[in-house]
Amino acid sequence: MANVKISNLNKKYPNGFHAVKDVNLEIIDKEFMILVGPSGCGKTTTLRMIAGLEEITSGEMQIGDQIVNDVSPKDRNIAMVFQNYALYPHMTVYDNMAFGLKLKKTPKAEIDERITKAARILDIEVLLKRKPKQLSGGQRQRVALGRAIVRKPEVFLMDEPLSNLDAKLRVQMRAELIKLHNDLKTTFIYVTHDQTEAMTMGTRICVMNNGLVQQVADPRTIYNSPANLFVAGFIGAPQMNFFPGRIVDGKFVEVEDHTFKLSEKMMKAVKEKGKESAEVTVGIRPEDIKISNSQEGISAKVEVTELLGSDLNVYFKIGQRSYILKTEAASGIKLGDDIYTVFDSEKLHLFDLETEESLV
């Protein structure tokens, strides 16, 4: 079992900077947990504390049944894959993969067997005699993964391992990492600032900002029910639309010239929270705004269109405020068009103006 349990974890760097603030997170055995957030949010620091590469200021770190605060990295039964791969340039691929095992005095025959198996999984069998400089970025990435796999760790830690790859290879490696996780049936903890990587690979996602955990949930929940304004804005591309509104009578939300009826669920939630009359930030995802074929809906003017293969992003203005919607390219909408938009009121998100927490 390789549950990783992080309790009240804090990191203050010697200069006084509080990079990780009271983080509580339990990573369940065999899950693919993604730590995601903007640059500087503390995700790498958290991962390095799990690895034992960074001292914990306060709190507790448990791997399996063991509290590992004072256990050295080599005794934690983890393997870390870094962004820059950290391969030894003068060694062949085989020797790079064998290095950790030789240090542990693993018998030669077993080293051979483990490397052959890992090389087969990663499709790098023909590269074993090459040196890192004779490899492409994607191949180097596989070798770095191979070096981790042969150690048979209980937990894989990965820090932005795909960020040095070109866009096409990154997409391909995403799928391969999902497959690898399925094949190895081991716990993966993966750091990225890329919300697409988080959404596509994670069985669960931990969204961080300013050293604080914002939400921990499966990708669908994070997308459909973001806990607060930060998560709502960070996850999803194009970004959720936000605009000011006011809840009236616990039944409606007024936005500039328009009034939307709240869904039953929202009515119940705002009542429970005593927000039946309150200023809020309203959010709606671009795919939840439709273009009406008739002249029903809110009239709007198209400012910019962005063609993405079969999809079309339409930037438009209602009065002085800009919004974005996502539709099919076949709709043929173009710059300067006058359109009628329908906001799906069932799909609105409401956020408390002060706390920025979701009300629903």
The count of other CB atoms within 10 Å of the CB of residue 205 is 27
What's the CA angle centered on 237, arms 233 and 239, to 5 degrees? 35
228 binds ligand ATP (CB under 6 A): no
Binders of ligand ATP among 191-220, rule CB under 6 A?
193
Coil, strand or helix: which one is 329?
Answer: helix
3-state percent helix, strand, coil for the chain, nearest multiple of 5: 30, 35, 35
Q: Which stretch binds ligand ATP (CB under 6 A): 35-43, 139-147, 234-242, 267-275?
A: 35-43
Coil, strand or helix: which one is 115?
Answer: helix
The binding track of 248-287 with respect to ligand ATP, each residue x by CB under 6 A or -, is ----------------------------------------
Secondary structure (DSSP) of 50-91: HHTSS--SEEEEEETTEE-TTS-GGGS-EEEE-TT----TTS
Q: How far apart are CA 214 and CA 85, in angstroms?
A: 29
151 binds ligand ATP (CB under 6 A): no
Tell me how far, at minimum, the Cβ of 223 lies from ligand ATP, in Å: 21
19 binds ligand ATP (CB under 6 A): yes
**Please, which residue, 209 or 358, has the CB nearer to ligand ATP?**
209
Tell me how far, at minimum, the Cβ of 277 lies from ligand ATP, in Å: 39
Binders of ligand ATP among 39-78, rule CB under 6 A?
39-45
82 binds ligand ATP (CB under 6 A): no
Q: How far apart are CA 303 and CA 336, in angstroms?
A: 6
Q: Exactly one of 9, 23, 36, 37 binds ligand ATP (CB under 6 A); which one?
A: 37
Tell me how far, at minimum, the Cβ of 55 lies from ligand ATP, in Å: 11
**Please, which residue, 13 or 88, has the CB nearer to ligand ATP?**
13
Size of the chain, expressed as the number of residues it contains: 360
Residues 6+ apart with CB under 8 A from 142: 122, 123, 124
Contact footprint for ligand ATP (CB under 6 A): 13, 15, 17, 19, 37, 39-45, 193
